A and B are shown apart, each in its own frame.
Chain A
Amino acid sequence: MPARKLAPEELCRRCDPAGFGFSTTADLEPLDPPVGQERAAEAIRFGISIRRDGFNVFAIGPPGVGKQGLVARIVRERAAREKPADDWCYLFRFADRQRPAAVRLPPGRAAPFRTEMERLVEELRAAIPALFESEDYRVRLQALEKQLEERREATMREVQERARERDVALVRTPMGFALAPVRNGEVIEPDAFHKLPEEEQRRIQGHLAELQERLQSALRCLPQLEREHRERVREMNREVALLAVGHLIEEVKKRYGDLPPVLAHLEAVQQDVVENVHEFFGAAEAEDAAGQIRKLFAETPAMHRYGVNVLVDHGGEQGAPVVSEDLPSHANLVGRVEYHSHFGTLVTDFSMVRAGALHRANGGYLLLDARRLLSQPFAWEDLKRALRGREVRIESPERLLGIGGAASLEPQPVPLEVKVILLGERWIHQLLLAADPEVRELFKVTADFEDEVPRAGGELAYARMVAALCRDEGLRPLDRAAVARLVEEGARISGDGEKLSARLQAVADLLREADHVAAQAARPVMIAADIQAAVDGEVRRASRVQRKLQEEIERGTLLIDTAGARTGQVNGLAVYQAGAVAFGHPTRITARVRLGRGEVVDIEREVDLGGPIHSKGVLILAGYLGARYAEDRPFTLSASLVFEQSYGEVEGDSASSAELFALLSALASLPMRQAIAVTGSVNQLGQVQAIGGVNEKVEGFFDVCRARGFTGEQGVIIPASNVKHLMLRADVVDAARAGQFHVWAVETVDEGMELLTGVPAGERGEDGRFPEGTVNGRVAGRLADLAGKARAYGVAAKDAGAP
């Protein structure tokens, strides 16, 4: 069957505006969810509605298909119907200051509680000093001091009197007391003492020993008296403080009677105020360095530790929280404990515990980008730990790494009830599934987004999706022709005339640019020309490399023939990606053959410029040649293939048919038409298979031919299975219609060879031989000739004693 020349209509599947029953997209009901994403939307709705462990959602799909938008919309719709999440705050834990207490409050009550406690402290600061400056307190304190003084005096009086009776002085020393004999009202000099009669000395020593016993016993009583006094003062202070604190805290308690944890905290505050009432006299503390240092080393100051650290405040919110964390780092996810520098020392307390995204989303939904999450140290493990344990535990990275011994806070974990929706590309999902068995347990629901949708019957839906985009973005509506052009572009982006791209991002960008063009032209509605201008603009902006290559081909630097015939030489087609725009351009592929051991040498692979798929394609050629032409004899060919003037990596097998054509041409010694470029992969059976980027490849060769001038002979051979993918530019279609440029579809290698050489391929006859003069006959003959030469060479070598 000969290669089929495609009709112009087959080169681009047009969208007929007349098929649309609307004037502009403003007439359309916006489509929700976006076209083709119904299955993903259903999965998301299921995932967020089922209240079971592990039913979190992994939304997967290529970038730009609108995952984030659709997920956010569906989640927000559901969240709006749910009750707001509870507030959370951290409170000072008096029993264990290293472990701040996490307390849950009904939504909107944490902030007022904080204000209430601030006011309480302010009132205590005024009320407590006032009470302790009162006359009543002063009198009571003086009475206690007087009492202590009298008790101490009474304790010592007896010793003093007895000492006086025995002419002994009681002298205060820096370390305590001394007992020494007295003469004439003064302690006796040592010399004078030694001059005393021995009996007198013994008598004095006796007195001193007796008084020492008594003084010792008196002194032993003093600490106890002091202790009792301090306890009495403390008890009185407690009593006075309670007077000030009790009724103030009772007022707060009344407002939080429904919240037992808050009541318990208020009890603890009351107890702490009473025990540490002296801290309320700190207002006049000197603000010099020493005072600052005293404050630093003081335990958490009262004014501070009675405060409320509102971790999450949902006051005034309607519905459950929906949180999207753009930077899901360890700290941003599970929260952190901050520090501040105070006189060169890092200090922290419960008030410096900060919420993470999990705290903010608790009771609602958390949206995370999987790639960003995985790129942050600890974040993935943090998320899993939180979901697994159903609690958010704030851990420092040092602790997670098991390093750093500095004491820090261990805030009480917050119970977690959240739906997490991870968004990522499929490969990330696959990678995680392969590497981490917990993914299946924790993300049981997969929402798989389509990247393209069937065009048949989907054009109107596409128009409605465009209407939704215009509404959401505040863009002008499109008229029918503009929608039709956009549909065609949607098919072009998908690389398939029968499909439409679901990559909303690309469509939205196109619409934004077209809207800009329409605005400049003061058009209230976008028309087809605006869409085309946007498409052209994008291509033009990204065309520097393309134009450079084109220029070098035109100048003869890059050798591409577009006329004449050459043996073992064919124009292959390659696709380059320049940013968002891809373009094709021809590249010369040549083949040389000689006697050898049945291998096809891929020069690109030999120099490590060929990728594995390309290498696979070349190896298939050897299989094809051996099986088709040397079934019953040694395959003694050695062939080499090269992409001429190619200095970068070559990947993909889309040039394997071109390489085979070059090989066959070289083997058959048949020149091939250089006006025709070739694309398509080939299998071992000689069938030409579909490739990607067919539109760009055809257009790449078209541009070269147009620059050199059409001869009417030029065109491209493509696989027949790629015909449905054709969405070629209008100028290519016009040239085809004018007979200036052609596109042929082939199903087999033979069809291509016939078109390229103008010689029949030739079928194997009943005798197993290909007809003489045909492409295959010449190839088989050449291979038989090479086999004969190899045999002759082998006999000669054996005769010569070669090993």
Chain B
Amino acid sequence: MSGLETGPIRRVLLALDAAGPGPATLDAAAGLAFRLDAELAAVLVEEADLLRATALPSSRHLALPGGERLDLDAVGAGVRASADRARSLLEAAAARRQVRWSFQAMRERAVRELLETGGAEELLVVERPRDRLAGMGGLTGLLGAATAGTRPVLVLGPAMRPGGARPGGRVSVVWDESESAAAALDLALRICRGVAEGPSLLVAAAHLAEAERLAGAAAPRAGRWLSWRWAGGSTPGDLLRSLPLDAVLVVGAGSPAAGGASGRARLLREARGPVLLVRRPDAPAPLPG
């Protein structure tokens, strides 16, 4: 391996919003912590507006689905119950995988600072907002900060049927021979260590012959020949089209195939499965997309 390989991941940082984590998210985060021998640290984001709204008697609260009116006490209790539930779910997931864990609630501003300043020894796991309606708060606002940091970020998408991706499924590494792609491959190999089915390459190349050459070039870095699939091109659109439905996409944040900020945003938005953005340890953080 080259000297550019990513360092050890000490902590898997799971960002949660008031809506609480889905079981697949928790399972994925705990699974990653287990595979990387890292601590599972969950941070519940306390949204300032939400806290104020639940303390303001004149605010109006409506339930989903249906829009029934809720009184303030019920909403306050709901917020607290959501935090308790998130904590107990986390505890159960960590116990299943037998990983160390911690849980803390933090104000939005503090979380944003944490995300922006965290190091490459942390892997951030964040759930993609379930729908665009949640764009009014929660993790949506933090997603940009998360992806702008230097740490690897696993963005989990909603598992949809049929063919919805599940964490723990196949791992596809976007491979274009760039250093960023190499960092992504390193991390993918580490995640897949001890797993029968290792990562496969999703080779971004304009031509098949070039894809074959690139796939061959990955073997020395991986230490073995990896299965590969030609993306049919080298743009984010090509990657999305050829990505297996149930695969976890591992992509170097600075990889040309990721297509820059807009390309990364598209990958995060349209990939049906989880996306793991990996940055080179020595690379400057890209500008928020």
Contacts and interface: CB of A to CB of B under 8 A. Distances in A.
A277 B63 CA distance: 33
A172 B134 contact: yes
B75 A173 contact: yes
Interface in B96-130: none
A237 B246 contact: no
Contact of A215 (B47, B54, B67, B169): B67
Contacts of B138: 172
Interface string A183-196: 00011111001000
A173 B61 contact: yes
A534 B82 CA distance: 93
Interface string B63-91: 11111011000110011011000000000
B50 A172 contact: yes
A286 B136 contact: no
B136 A138 contact: no
B63 A176 contact: yes
A149 B63 contact: no
Interface stretch (B7-15, B159-167, B207-215, B279-287): B159-167
B49 A220 contact: no
Nearest to A148: B131
A179 B244 CA distance: 41
A281 B165 CA distance: 11
A351 B58 CA distance: 63
A286 B49 contact: no
B132 interface: yes
Contacts, number: 157
Contacts of A135: 241
A181 B49 CA distance: 10
A142 B162 contact: no
B49 A187 contact: yes
B19 interface: yes
A190 B131 contact: no
Contact of B70 (A175, A223, A226): A175
Interface stretch (A200-208, A392-400, A412-420): A200-208
B67 A219 contact: yes
Contacts of A223: 65-66
Contacts of A766: none
A171 B47 contact: yes
A254 to B, nearest CB: 29
A133 interface: yes
Contacts of B75: 173, 175, 178
B245 interface: yes
Nearest to A185: B49
A186 B48 contact: yes
Interface string A223-260: 10010000000000100000000000000000000000
Contact of A212 (B64, B66, B69, B272): B69
B52 A175 contact: no
A181 B58 contact: yes
Given A172-B134, A212-B69, A187 B53 contact: yes
A177 B62 CA distance: 5
Nearest to A237: B162
B78 A178 contact: no
A215 B58 contact: no
A133 B170 CA distance: 14
A171 B67 CA distance: 14
A277 B162 contact: yes
Contacts of A190: 52, 55-57
A598 to B, nearest CB: 98
Given A132-B245, A174-B78, A175-B70, A152 B53 contact: no
B56 A174 contact: no
A679 B78 CA distance: 105
Contact of A133 (B18, B48, B67, B245): B245
B60 interface: yes
B233 interface: no
B1 interface: no
A802 interface: no
B52 A152 contact: no
A176 B58 contact: no
Interface in B162-195: 162-163, 166, 168-169
A390 B162 CA distance: 48
Contact of B169 (A222, A237, A284): A284
A179 B63 CA distance: 12
B137 interface: yes
A175 B64 contact: yes
A284 to B, nearest CB: 6
B165 to A, nearest CB: 10
A133 B53 contact: no
B66 A188 contact: no
A156 interface: yes
Given A156-B133, A193-B58, A172 B246 contact: no
A375 interface: no
Contact of A186 (B52, B70, B78): B52
A205 B60 CA distance: 9
B20 interface: yes
A175 B60 CA distance: 13
A445 interface: no
Q: Which among A178, A186, A223 has the highest number of chain B CB atoms within 10 Å?
A: A178
B43 to A, nearest CB: 16
Contacts of B74: 175
A180 B133 contact: no
Nearest to A133: B245
Nearest to A216: B67
Contact of B270 (A142, A179, A193): A142
Interface in B216-264: 241, 244-246
A295 B60 CA distance: 43
B59 interface: yes
A281 B78 contact: no
B168 A286 contact: yes
A161 interface: no
Given A149-B131, A187-B52, A171 B137 contact: yes
A8 interface: no
Contact of A187 (B48, B64, B67, B272): B48
A219 B64 contact: yes
B168 A174 contact: no
Contacts of B19: 172, 174
A169 B162 contact: no
Contacts of A189: 52, 55-56
Interface string A93-135: 0000000000000000000000000000000000001001101
B70 to A, nearest CB: 6
A218 to B, nearest CB: 8
Contacts of A169: 49, 53, 136
A153 B62 contact: no
Interface in A29-74: none
Contacts of B48: 186-187
B252 to A, nearest CB: 24
Contacts of A208: 58-60
A211 interface: yes
Given A132-B245, A171-B49, A175-B70, A222 B56 contact: no
A160 B133 CA distance: 10
B169 A217 contact: no
A732 B70 CA distance: 115
Given A152-B132, A178-B50, A189-B52, 15 more contacts: A129-B163, A133-B163, A153-B132, A171-B49, A171-B137, A173-B53, A175-B63, A178-B60, A180-B59, A188-B52, A219-B64, A226-B65, A237-B162, A284-B169, A286-B166
> What are the 8 A-B residue pairs with the smallest beta carbon separation, nearest first?
A219-B67, A174-B82, A187-B52, A216-B67, A180-B59, A180-B53, A178-B53, A176-B64
17 contacts: A132-B162, A135-B241, A142-B270, A173-B54, A173-B78, A174-B19, A174-B79, A175-B61, A179-B59, A180-B49, A186-B49, A190-B52, A193-B58, A215-B60, A218-B67, A219-B67, A220-B67
Interface of B: 18-20, 47-50, 52-67, 69-70, 74-75, 78-79, 81-82, 131-134, 136-138, 161-163, 166, 168-169, 241, 244-246, 270, 272
